[in-house]
Amino acid sequence: MALTIEDMARLSRLARLEVNPQTQNQTLDQLNGFFKLVEQMNAVDTTGVEPLAHPTDAMGVAAQLRLRDDHVAEPATAQARDANQASAPAVERGLFLVPKVIE
């Protein structure tokens, strides 16, 4: 599947985007490159290959993500809170005040 310049014009119109011809041609090349890559991936025989929850699962223990321990690094003091809230537009009794967004 390859897009044409007419497809790009239609997509631009549907998305209500004004795209100049040079950008339209560059985007067309990028999209067609993406579709070509998808076609190459779809052509690979994956019969018998178990799906992975995450790509690093295929690399074993050595590639597991290194996560830091989840612990508080700064003391929870009133001074620290006040310093963090110094740039807030509205604060009351140590709480950030935000505008109501849901009626």
- pLDDT tens figures, 16-44: 999 998 999 999 999 999 999 999 999 99
What pLDDT, in 10s, does the model give residues 59-100?
776 666 677 788 888 778 889 899 999 999 999 999 999 998
Mean pLDDT for 40-63 is: 83
More confident residue, 54 or 10: 10
Q: Is the C-alpha dihedral spanning 32, 37, 42, 45 positive or negative?
A: positive
**Contact 89/83 with Cβ under 8 angstroms?**
no
Question: Which two structure tokens, joined as six digits, stand for 86?
Answer: 């110094």
What is the pLDDT at residue 1?
75
- Residues 103, 20: Cα–Cα separation, whole Å: 41
- Residues 87, 83: Cα–Cα separation, whole Å: 8
The pTM score is 0.49
What is the pLDDT at residue 13?
93
